[in-house]
Structure 1
Amino acid sequence: MNLLKKIGAILLVIITLLIIIVGVIAYTLKPDYSGEKELANLQQEVKVYYDDYGIPHIYGENEKDAFRTLGYVHAQDRLWQMELLRRIASGGLSEVFGVDLIGTDKFFLSLGIADASKLTAASVAENDEGVVLAKAYLDGINQFITEGPTPIEFHLTGIEKKAFVLEDVYNTIGYMAFSFAMAHKTDPLLTTINSKLGPNYLKDLHVGSTIDTEWIKNYNPASSDSIQNNLTAAVNKALGVLDIPLFEGSNSWVIAPDKTKNGKVIFANDPHIGFAQPSVWYEAHMETPTYSKYGYHIAGIPFPLLGHNRKLAYGITMFENDDVDFYFEQNNPDNENQYLTEGGYVDYEIVNKSIKVKDSYEVQFSYKKSIHGPILNGIADQVKGDRPIAMSWVYTQMENKVIDAIYGLSHSNNLKEFKTALPKIHAPGLNIMYGDEEGNVAWFATAQLYQIPDSVNTKMVFEVGEGLPLEKDLLDFKENPQAINPPSNYVYSANNQPDSIAGMLYPGYYLPENRGKRIVELLAPKNDWDITSASEMITDVISSVEPEIITNLAKLLDVSLLSENGLMAIDSLKMWRGDYELSSIEATIYNRWIYYFLENTFEDELGDELFNQFLSTHFMKRLIAPLSKDEDSVWWDDVSTTDVNESMVDIVNISFMEAVASLEKDFGNNLDYWRWERVHTIEHGHPIGQIAALRSFFNVGPYPVHGTREVINNLAFSYDDTGYYKTTSGPSTRRIIDFSDVENSISILPTGQSGNPFSEHYRDQAEMYVNGEFRKMMMNKEEIQKSKEILTFKPKD
């Protein structure tokens, strides 16, 4: 007994010591939200008031001091995220995660983002105000690196902290630009389908622009000054494993005074980005005598991409325009280091790179470049065959003024000033949404666009000597899709197809009309909008398209073939209004049915690999509705059966019966157990959360979550044969600004403000987000100064 007591006492001491050690580590590594610090090169004292959700409200006497302080407080909450984002484009992931990421690093280095960033950073004017403030922000980050505690992720991965430079800012922007592009998933896949199956199969995929959809309409009065693939399959897989966010979609609408209850503009925006922990945006409210902004910042970028003050608000969605092209090159049969041009065979440029690999040696590799761009064979594993394929990307080919543009947007005071910054965004293609206190509402599609002849199909790999020329016929920004104070009294964007410009429907990778149609359906008839009704709309989970799809398919069902559960399921679906509440049974049945419908239609021709790539494209989402009423499609016949010519009726019936059978297998015969909450979940993954023992500490969730893909509350997922829908992307924030009461505008983040797992703000908004709740974006100085936590920065002697 005495021995047991001694063992018990020893164990108690050990547990107590462990608790003390963990407590000390947590206290040491968590961010400082109060107290005093000295900051080098600070001219005057800066006060940072932290609200109840850990959002800094920075008050300084000049902008350089405020941005220097922003860099410090941003780093203490998000340094690990900054580190990862700057490493992607520069090929630095293998140094952190090892040999599995060598292929990803090779791919990104071959894109040329890092080379372009180096050239841009070297050519900027040192006295340019945007550059001055960017460097002040970087100085703040670097002081935290030097003096602040090292985030736990650096200890766990064994990497050293290194100072940030201007190149890192451009590398992060370059990664963001790349993650918008859909061409890598689409163009090689469509080329393969065309060569393997023929143009009839391509035609029935509905990949082109069409008049039979909900367009975003142009409206640009004359007197504007006075107005109020597969190629990335491996990369995406690698980044998905790392839980690094990809930029994927978005909603925004801005309602003019004539349609609001209080006669002032209401602005709404929810960019759709891949979920990860920490979440992508860092909120910061800054006030100086010359600058006022409540902004949303990406880690390592000084100026907010989303923001508002008392004068104006702006936000973004993805334009989805096509700015990437692929070209076959023809090698010299006598010299594989040469390729054919109009002037004969010329040498490829050979680019040599090296990659540092964790716990290993440096990997040396080289790739070829033609006049069109890098040759991706041997770099991207999914580029099959011997024919060289070059990638041409507008982002790396033109002068990069994106930082100037973001600075200009964040420092504008009115619509006229705001518009002057827009032409500086050559890529990525963005829809910039705008509203102001004077009553102006506007939408601008920003990107460097160019003439594309009708005869050129930009969604195919161009044959040798064909395709767009190197010197493109550039369009002036005034020709870009846009609408300024239209007669409808609202503007919106949901990544759907924009109206025609310069005599053409501009090619792109637009998402289906589903969200756009629902937004117009809600906005158009109502003329008494307020912040409450706008917040209900931004969390709307009803599809106005899917009940039509069910109507088209259900009329083809042979009810005599259905089981009792099948009959109850189709009767329920026929009454469904397209809602995706947690309790919805119909949502589960519909998505299971659509998966089998797609599988039975396409997998026999495509095979497993191409079918899985097909499921990741935007055009797959777009084709479901038109395919549901196309009884003559060439895809219906199952090519694996030689004695039967299957019809649409056959595919619809077998798919529905398979869906019901699989649901019975997974959840039993009681339809009440087929609820959406059982299959649709969300978990915000941290790269280190992949380790099972650390998952609950680093990851946030999982939670059942309402919504689905392509409704306004766009909580998206990928289809697979499991029948479970783990949400991978969705609203990265929901924010609503009401200019009748700016100080009570509202927002939410998916998890929390801090990326530091020891912070109380690491996950404190997660359940609110899942429940569709909001919190205030504080701007009232008297209210802010009542904060319990105040961090004061003083000039360093």
Structure 2
Amino acid sequence: MKTLKKIGFILLVLVIVIAITGVIFIQTLKPEYSGNKTLPKLQHEVQVYYDTYGIPHIYGATQEDAFRTLGYVHAQDRLWQMELLRRIGSGGLSEVFGADLLDTDKFFLALGIDDASVVTVSKLDKNKEAVKVAQAYLDGVNQFIADGPTPVEFYLTGIDKTQFSLKDMYNTMGYMAFSFAMAHKTDPLLTNIKDKLGPAYLADLEIASSTDLEWIKNYHQKPADSIQNTIASLVSDALGELNLPLFEGSNSWVLAPDKTRNGKVIFTNDPHIGFAQPSVWFEAHIETPSYSKYGYHMAGIPFPVLGHDRNLAYGVTMFENDDVDFYFEENNPSNPNEYKTVNDWKAYEIVNKTITVKDAEDVSFSYKKSVHGPVLNGIADQVTGERPIAMSWAYTQMENEVIDAFYGISQAKNLSEFKKALPKIHAPGLNMMYGDAEGNIGWFASAQLYEIPDSVNTKLVFEPGTGLPLDKTLLDFSKNPQAVNPPWNYVYSANNQPDSIAGMLVPGYYLPENRGKRIVDLLEPKNDWDLDSASEMILDVTSSVNPEIVRELVKKIDISVLSELQLKALDELNVWQGDYPLESVAATIFTRWEYFLLKNTFKDELGEEQFTQFLSTHFHKRVIAPMSEKSSSVWWDNVNTSDTKETAEMIVQDAFLKALTSLENDFGADLSAWTWGKVHTLEHPHPIGQVEALKSFFNVGPFPVHGTREVINNMYFGYDGTRMYKTSSGPSTRRVIDFSDVENSVSILPTGQSGNPFSKHYKDQSQLYIDGKFRKMMMNKEEIQNSQEILIFSPKE
């Protein structure tokens, strides 16, 4: 017995020692928000005040000092995020996660992001202010890597910390640029539909733009072969599993003084990005004698993509223009390493790459390049078919000045300086939104556009000898869609179709009019907007389009055969206003009906794989409203029922009955139990949260969440057949800036400022976000200096 007691005592001591050691270890991993540090190359002392939500307010004597400090404090909260994002474009994910990511690494290496970054960096003028400030930021990041604690994710994955370079910065921007693109999801699918089903099947897919829809208005202030549709899925599926931010959409509207109660501009913006933990933006407020900005920064990129000061505010939405094209190449029958050009046969360029794979041998592979770009066949096993398909992407084929553009934007003191920086954004296409204290407002579709003949359909894979010329006729930035100080006193963007200036509509993958229509409907009649009403509008969850869809669909229903439960469900829909609060029953019924309608209409022709791809594109959202009005369409007939020709009425009714049966199976026969909050949820997933044992530690949520697809509070989810709607993307921040009281402007992040799970700021905004609340973006120095935590950086002697 005494021996057992001794063993028990020893075990207890060991447990206590392990627990104490664990606590000490955890304490060493936390970010430091107060104290004193030295930083090499610093010229003067820099003070960093951390506010209640862990946002650094950086006060320095020079910009280089301030940005060097920003790099350090950014890294201590987001180094793991920086690490993952820089690895995508350089094909470095397999080194972290193993062979499952090989296809993704091959694809991104073949895109040429890393090669383009090498070329860009080799041409940089190291004496330019933008480059010097960017290098100072990277010096700060690297100093944290050298001196700071290693984030827990590095221990769990077994990788080492390594220094960051300018090339890493451009690789991160390259990945972000590609995540905007929709062509890789859409063009191969549309080509398959045309080649396998016939051109008639494209007619009702709303590929072209309709003048009946809400367009963004310009105003100038005066002076075949099966592609298997896996070009998208090999990337989207893999990156989706990693839970990295993908850009999806966005809203912004800027109100001129005549539309506001206090006679000053009000600026709003909520970029829609894939939910992940940590979320995409890192907030930082910097003050120096020559620079002042409250900015939103991407991991590893020094210059804020969103920002404001006391003089102006700017933000972004996705332009959604088409800057990716696909070309069928024709191989030489006697030499598969040659392809046909206009004049003769030309040898493919053979590119060799090597990928480091975790717990395995390095993998070497090669791919071909034509004059159009990388040939996708053979890059990944999923891309099949004998006809070579080359991909042309504007981002890697033109001079890259995107970083310079955002440096210029962040340095701008007025509208003229802001606009001067915009032509440097060649890709990705961005709607740059602007407002200032002088009363100016502006919207600029920013991308390098070029002439596209009416006869060229950029949404299909081009046959050999067709498509766009290699030497495109570039348009001057003045020909881009834009509006400055229009007489209707507001500008907005909701990723919908912009009107033309250059005499042609810019081809793109625009979202349906739903959000744009709702924004215009709310803005037009009201001329006394203030901070509170603008904040309320950015949370709006009502669709003005969906009730119209319901009215059209109900016309096709034979109510004489409906049960009592089904009639009650129809009554719910008939009085529905198109809103999506948590308690709504009609929202649940409509969403379930919408899914079965899409499935009944399109899956028989497309098959399982292509139907899944169809649901991942923007145009599946564009097709719902117009299809609800159509009494005849080639899509209505089910090709699998040879003895019956289905009508619109049959398809709509069957979808309605299937929707109600599924809801009854899920929640019972009591309609009041079919509430939106039960089916629509939001969880912020961390890449390591895929491991079930670590999920609750790294992930944030899930929460029931109001909103839905294509309302202003755009909480997007994909239809995956589970009949549950897990929100995958939405507002990555909500900002409202009122120039009548700029220091009390408000914002919110989806989870928290820090990506370190041991930080108190890892998820301290998550409930506020779900509840639709805001917090102040502090800019008043006296108020900021009352912060409890201050971290002081001194020059290293």
TM-score range, shorter chain: over 0.9
Q: Aligned ranges for residues 366-765 of structure 1 at < 5 Å?
A: 366-765=366-765
After TM superposition, the structure 1 stretch with the greater mean CA deviation from structure 2, 332-341 or 554-563, is: 554-563
What SS does the corresponding residue of 2:629 show, helix, strand or coil? coil
SS at match of 1:232: helix
Query: 1:58 corresponds to which residue?
Result: 58
Whole-angstrom distance in 2 between the partners of 1:740 and 1:187: 46
Aligned counterparts of 2:97 and 2:334: Cα–Cα separation in 1: 41
Q: Structure 1 residues 387 and 127 mapped into 2: Cα distance closer, same or farther (>3 Å)?
A: same
Superposed displacement of residue 3, structure 1:
8.0
SS of the residue 1:54 aligns to: coil
- Root-mean-square deviation (CA), in Å? 1.1
**Cα separation, 1, equivalents of 2:199 and 2:382:** 22
Contact 1:30 1:758 in 2 (8 A): yes
Instruction: Note closer, same or farther for the CA distance 1:4–1:523 as it changes in structure 2 (3 Å cut).
Output: farther
User: Cα distance, 1:234 vs. partner?
Assistant: 1.3
| Local SS of the residue matching 1:315 | strand
CA distance in 1, matches of 2:18, 2:691: 21
Report the Cα offset of residue 2 of structure 1. 7.4
Secondary structure at the aligned position of 1:611 is classed as helix
Structure 1 residue 262 and structure 2 residue 262: aligned?
A: yes
Distance 2:564 2:21 in 1: 61
Q: Which moved more, 1:254-263 or 1:203-212?
A: 203-212
* 1:412-433 deviation line (CA, Å, top 9, x unaligned): 0000010100000000000000
Residue 11 of structure 1 and its aligned partner are, at CA, apart by 5.7
In structure 2, C-alpha distance between the alignment counterparts of 1:384 and 1:602, rounded to whole Å: 23
Q: Cα distance 1:628–1:5, how it changes in 2: closer, same or farther (>3 A)? A: farther
* Residue in structure 1 matched with residue 214 of structure 2 by the alignment: 214
Does the C-alpha gap of structure 1 residues 650 and 6 become closer, same or farther in structure 2, counting only changes over 3 Å?
farther
Give yes or no for contact 1:496–1:512 (8 Å, CA) kept in 2: yes
Deviates more, 1:193-202 or 1:15-24: 15-24
Matched residue, 2:120: 120
Q: Is the 8 A contact 1:312 1:436 kept in 2?
A: yes
Which residue number corresponds to residue 323 of structure 2?
323
* Distance in structure 2 (CA, Å) of the matches to 1:7 and 1:775: 54
In structure 2, what is the Cα distance between the partners aligned to 1:541 and 1:6?
A: 65
8 Å contact kept, 1:234–1:381: no
By how many angstroms is 1:672 displaced?
1.1
Q: CA deviation at 1:18?
A: 3.8
CA distance in 1, matches of 2:380, 2:598: 27
Measured against aligned partners, the alpha-carbon deviations of 1:267-317 in whole angstroms (never above 9, x if no partner) come to 000000001000000000000000000000000000000000000000000
SS at match of 2:292: strand
**CA distances 1:236-293 after superposition (whole Å, capped 9, x unpaired):** 0000000011011000000011010111000000000001000000000000000000
- Tell me by how many angstroms 1:380 deviates: 4.1
How many residues align structurally?
792
Query: What CA distance in whole angstroms lies between the structure 2 residues aligned with 1:593 and 1:190?
Result: 25
Distance in 2, Cα, partners of 1:122 & 1:771:
48
Letter of the structure 2 residue corresponding to residue 106 of structure 1: K
Q: Which residue type is aligned with residue 241 of structure 2? A: V
Between 64-73 and 205-214, the greater mean CA deviation after superposition: 205-214
Work out the CA distance in 2 between the residues paired with 1:382 and 1:324: 20
User: What is the CA–CA distance in structure 2 between the aligned matches of 1:759 and 1:12, rounded to whole Å?
Assistant: 29
SS at match of 1:452: coil
Q: Following the alignment from structure 1 to structure 2, what is the Cα–Cα distance between the partners of residues 134 and 23? A: 37
Change (3 A) 1:12 1:675: farther
TM-score norm. by structure 2 comes to: 0.98
State the SS of the aligned residue for 2:404: helix
1:302 match: secondary structure: coil
Amino acid at match of 1:545: V
Secondary structure in structure 1 of the residue aligned to 2:643 = coil
Q: What amino acid is the match of 1:682?
A: L
Asked whether the 8 Å contact 1:232–1:382 carries over to 2, the reply is no
> What is the deviation of 1:688?
0.6
Cα deviation, residue 381, structure 1: 4.2
Q: 2:660 aligns to what SS in structure 1?
A: helix
Distance 2:454 2:357 in 1: 47
1:641 Cα shift?
0.3
**Code of the aligned partner of 1:75:** A
Separation in structure 1 between the aligned mates of residue 433 and residue 665 of structure 2, nearest angstrom: 47
Cα distance, 1:375–1:440 mapped onto 2, change above 3 Å: same
- Secondary structure at the counterpart of residue 135 of structure 1: helix
Distance 1:12 1:61 in 2: 54
1:144 aligns to what? 144
Q: In the TM superposition, what is the alpha-carbon distance from 1:383 to its structure 2 partner? A: 3.0
| Cross-structure match for 2:290 | 290
The alpha carbon displacement at 1:99 in A equals: 0.3
Listed one character per residue, the Cα deviations across residues 578-628 of structure 1 (whole Å, up to 9, x for unaligned) are 111000111110010010000000000000000000000000000100010
What is the Cα deviation at residue 12 of structure 1? 4.6
**Counterpart position of 1:304:** 304
Gaps of 5+ in 1: 224-228
After superposition, the C-alpha distances for 1:657-715 in whole angstroms (9 at most, x for unaligned) are: 00000000000001111101101111111111111111111111111111111000001
Counterparts of 2:380 and 2:289 in 1: how far apart (Å)? 50
Letter in 2 for 1:302: P
For residues 306-363 of structure 1, give each alpha carbon's deviation from its aligned partner in whole angstroms, at most 9, with x where no partner exists. 0000000000000000001100000000000000001111100000000000011110
CA distance in 1, matches of 2:80, 2:512: 35
The letter for the 2-side match of 1:51 is: D
Q: CA deviation at 1:4?
A: 8.0
The answer to whether structure 1 residue 185 and structure 2 residue 176 are counterparts is: no
CA distance in 2, matches of 1:15, 1:651: 65
Output the amino acid matched with 1:300: G
- Amino acid across the alignment from 1:661: T
Question: Residues 408 and 418 of structure 1 are in contact (CA less than 8 Å); yes or no, is this contact kept in structure 2?
Answer: yes
Question: Match of 1:279?
Answer: 279
Q: In the alignment, is the contact (CA less than 8 A) between 1:46 and 1:59 conserved in 2?
A: yes
Deviations 1:449-498 (A, max 9, x none): 01111100000000000011101111100000000000110000000000
Q: For 2:790 and 2:262, locate their aligned partners in 1 and report how far apart those are by CA, in whole Å.
A: 35
Is 2:107 aligned against 1:107? yes
Question: Match for 2:127: what amino acid?
Answer: N
For the 8 Å contact 1:189–1:230, the answer to whether it is kept is no
Q: Which residue of 2 aligns with 1:346?
A: 346
Give 1:19 shift.
3.1
Q: C-alpha separation between the residues in 2 aligned to 1:472 and 1:561? A: 60
Contact kept, 8 Å, 1:121 with 1:166, in 2: the verdict is yes
Supply the distance in 2 between the matched residues of 1:263 and 1:398 (Cα, whole angstroms). Answer: 43
In 2, Cα distance between equivalents of 1:631 and 1:459: 27
Output the CA distance in 2 between the equivalents of 1:532 and 1:40: 45
Matched, 1:238 2:261: no
Task: Give distance in 2, aligned partners of 1:380 and 1:605.
Answer: 26
What is the rounded CA distance, in whole Å, between the counterparts of 1:203 and 1:14 in structure 2? 72
Report the Cα distance in structure 1 between the residues aligned to 2:559 and 2:697, rounded to whole angstroms.
Answer: 50
| In structure 1, distance between residues paired with 2:760 and 2:346 | 60
Q: Which residue of 1 aligns with 2:226?
A: none
Q: Which residue of 1 is the match for residue 365 of structure 2?
A: 365
Distance change >3 Å, CA 647–CA 544, structure 1 → 2:
same
Specify the SS of the correspondent of 1:70.
helix
